[in-house]
Structures are given as structure tokens and as C-alpha cells.
A = this chain, B = another copy of it.
Amino acid sequence: MANFEALVNRIASLDTNMYLNDFLLTWEKSDAEIAATFAVADALRNLRERNISTRIFDSGLGISLFRDNSTRTRFSFASACNLLGLTVQGKSQIAHGETVRETANMISFMADIIGIRDDMYIGKGNTYMREVSRAVLDGYKDGNLEQRPTLVNLQCDIDHPTQSMADMLHIIHTFGGVENLKGKKLAMTWAYSPSYGKPLSVPQGIIGLMTRFGMEVHLAHPEGYEVMPEVEEVAKQNAAKTGGKFVKSNSMADAFAGADIVYPKSWAPFAAMEKRTNLYGNGDFDGIKALEKDLLAQNANHKDWECTEDLMKKTNGGKALYMHCLPADISGVSCKEGEVEASVFDRYRVPLYKEAGFKPYIIAAMIFLSKMKDPAKALKDLETRDRQRIFQ
């Protein structure tokens, strides 16, 4: 791990505009801002490892608005808030429409940050986040809120920035620095799962971010499992700008061939998710049941999309870094047939847990950068303050 002073100097050298801004989509952030987020995450971890407290809030609330009650997201967000001194206050049901403005103001009186997870309905989650953002900005301007609460996207219908950023930081650490990634090949592939309707935000987040570092990003899935075309467009443009490549195919084997990193993971077809959103909107529950049945049947046609030892052998030196956002559907363990062979998963268990471990620091970095006017100075000052995290 790079030493603290180098990280601070790097942050100081980056031209960023994240103060009092939300973090909603990685492709809305400049390269400097993405780099600053990684560096702050590493710096916060470095301080914590030296038992130096990173509390920047003496009091303050982190509001969580989750449509689903996901244990992992809840603990990641709670860990990040705790690291910085915020207390989490949660609200599970989310009202869309007219009342968003009112609710957003009523829960934000002491809110420094709002983390939202709303990934279930295509066309809804990200839109909702922007509604909330506008509402609290108005509340701040009107003098109703003393502070401007900023938002962190904890997963929406389009992107999953805390996941993709944590994944990327894991890659950076594994390959010894972002400068070593040029020309590397990453395979983001669909994989079979017996469950239905997994969100698109993971593959979309991955192709939307990983194409920015000069890598070849290969998106592979069976026909009919297309992701949102807007995000593919983002990936294409990213690759064009950075000397990287964005390749699409319908072959898992092609994607794995010579890959340095593989990310095999199930998701639902974009078109089907759009259809589901409309069925919910119309309250057509019979239609939803029929759709679920169709999707499960469609999935079952592609049980050969499994990350096997044989496929892993086709990767660069047979040693590609296997990645997953967890939990994975492990064949013969968590389900009969799934995304990955048990022996592959087992071999990568420690790196997988490390991958997950970057997420709280990424979330904390996003919060930190939206609250500290001069983040490099703030980190330096925290080191100088030298307050113990655990009393010694």
C-alpha cells in the first residue's frame, strides 16, 4: 500500500469538484475525481490501520433510504458512516411522486449524507435519487436545512458506483497500481443462476467504469440478455478516450480467453426488467408471475454459462483474478447449478472477501470528498490531530 504522504500529495495534485456534490454515476465524475476517490479510500484505511481516528463529524446523521433491506449494503454504509462519525438513521419504504420533496426535507434536518439504494425498477431508482437531491438542495437554499445533505448512490437501476469503485480498487491493489492495467483484459460475463431478476447495475457499473483505464473490457452474455444501450455507449466512449477496448460477444469462452480478470455474474435482461416495471406500474400481478416463469425458463437455456475450472484455464496463465460482488450462486453449494464451480470459488475466497472489504472505504471516501473542502489538507490534519481510534 502506498504510503500516506504519497496519497495525500496525489490528492492535492488532483483537480476535483466534489465538495457538496452527490456521487450518482461514475461517468459523471472526471478521471481526477475517480482517482481522488481511490486515494482517499486508501488514505482513510491507512489512518485506521495506524489507529488514528478519521472522525470528521462530532455529530451528524447518515440517512439510509433502502427499498430492499440488504444486510450487506446496510453494513457497508453503517461502517463508512461510523468511520467518519455519522450516526445512521434508516427508513425503508420509499415514497415516489409528490411527497418526495416533503419526506426528503423532514428526514434531513441533521443529515450530512443520504445513502439511497433503489435498484428494482428500471427507469425509477436513479430518477428518484435526483428528485431527493433536488429537494434537499432546495431545503438548504430555503434555509430549512442548515447543511446541504449530499447523496451517495448505493445502487440504482443504472449504476452501482460503490460496487464498481470497490472492485476497481481491488484490481488496482492486486495489479500493483493503476499504471499496470493498460492492455489488461477484463471479462464481464453473464452466468447462469436459478434465481431470477438480478439487477443490471453490476455489469453496467463495471463496463461503465473499467473501460476508463486502458483495459480491454469484454462484455459477454447470451442473446437476449442485453444491458441498457446508454451504458454500452458510455463504455464505448470511455474506451475510445483511453486507448482501451470495449468488446461485445455472445461467448463466455471468447471473453475468458486470455483474460486477466473475470467477473461472471447473473443478471436479468434489460428488456424484461423494463417490462416488469410497467407490469408493476399497472398492478398486473398475473403478468408479473407469467414474466417470472418465462425468465426462469429462459435462464435455464443457458446453464452452460458457468465459471468452471476449464474456463479458468483459458484465462491468462490460467490465473485470472476471479471477481464477484457476492453472494455468488455456487454450484453444488448454494444451489444445484449456478454461476461458478465450487473449487473456483473456494480458491478465490480470500481475494473475494478483500474485494468486498474495499466498499466501506469507498463509501467513506465519497462522503469525505463531498464534505471536506480541501480533502488533502483534511487528511493531513487528521494525521496531525492524531486522535486514537481505540484508546491505548
Select one of B72, B146, B373, B389 contacting A60, CB under 8 A. B389
Interface size class of A (residues with CB under 8 A): 35 or more
Which residues of chain B are near A74, meaning CB under 8 Å? 89
| CB 8 Å contact bits of A116-154 with B (1 = contact, 0 = none) | 000000000000000000000001001111100000000
Is the beta-carbon distance between A57 and B391 smaller than 8 angstroms?
yes
Select one of B89, B142, B146 contacting A49, CB under 8 A. B146
Is the beta-carbon distance between B391 and A56 smaller than 8 angstroms?
yes
Q: Does residue A106 face the partner (Cβ distance < 8 Å to B)?
A: yes
Comparing A80-88, A190-198, A211-219, A230-238, the segment that makes contact with chain B is A80-88
Q: Does residue A353 face the partner (Cβ distance < 8 Å to B)?
A: yes
| CB 8 Å contact bits of A20-58 with B (1 = contact, 0 = none) | 000000000000000000000000010011000111111
Is the beta-carbon distance between A356 and B59 smaller than 8 angstroms?
no
Name the distance in Å between A166's Cβ and chain B's nearest Cβ: 11
| A60 to B55 CA separation, bound complex (whole angstroms) | 11
Q: Does residue A381 face the partner (Cβ distance < 8 Å to B)?
A: yes
Select one of B75, B112, B142, B389 contacting A354, CB under 8 A. B142
Name the distance in Å between A20's Cβ and chain B's nearest Cβ: 12
Is the beta-carbon distance between B45 and A60 smaller than 8 angstroms?
no
Name the distance in Å between A110's Cβ and chain B's nearest Cβ: 4
Which residues of chain B are near A144, meaning CB under 8 Å? 350, 353-354, 356-357
Supposing A146-B49, A360-B110 touch, asked if A381 and B389 sit within 8 A by C-beta, the answer is no
Select one of B71, B84, B91 contacting A107, CB under 8 A. B71
Name the distance in Å between A77's Cβ and chain B's nearest Cβ: 10
Is the beta-carbon distance between A390 and B57 smaller than 8 angstroms?
yes
Is the beta-carbon distance between B99 and A327 smaller than 8 angstroms?
yes
Q: Does residue A333 face the partner (Cβ distance < 8 Å to B)?
A: yes
Which residues of chain B are near A82, meaning CB under 8 Å? 59-61, 87, 89, 110
Q: Does residue A257 face the partner (Cβ distance < 8 Å to B)?
A: no
| CB 8 Å contact bits of A336-376 with B (1 = contact, 0 = none) | 00000000000001100110110110000000000111000
Q: Does residue A299 face the partner (Cβ distance < 8 Å to B)?
A: no
Copies in the complex: 3
| A381 to B79 CA separation, bound complex (whole angstroms) | 28
Q: Does residue A189 face the partner (Cβ distance < 8 Å to B)?
A: no
Which residues of chain B are near A107, meaning CB under 8 Å? 71-72, 75
Supposing A71-B91, A146-B49 touch, asked if A356 and B105 sit within 8 A by C-beta, the answer is yes
Residue of B nearest to A388 (CB): B58
Name the distance in Å between A185's Cβ and chain B's nearest Cβ: 26
Which residues of chain B are near A390, meaning CB under 8 Å? 56-58, 60, 112, 371
Q: Does residue A186 face the partner (Cβ distance < 8 Å to B)?
A: no
Assuming A102-B326, A109-B360, A142-B350, what are 10 further A-B pairs, CB within 8 angstroms? Answer: A55-B58, A59-B82, A71-B91, A78-B87, A82-B110, A88-B89, A105-B356, A106-B326, A144-B353, A382-B391
Residues of A within 8 A of B (CB): 45, 48-49, 53-61, 71-72, 74-76, 78-79, 82-85, 87-89, 91, 98-99, 101-103, 105-107, 109-110, 112, 139, 142-146, 326-327, 333-334, 349-350, 353-354, 356-357, 359-360, 371-373, 378, 381-382, 387-392
Contacts A/B (CB < 8 Å), 8 sampled:
A54-B59, A79-B109, A98-B333, A105-B357, A109-B360, A142-B353, A144-B357, A145-B357
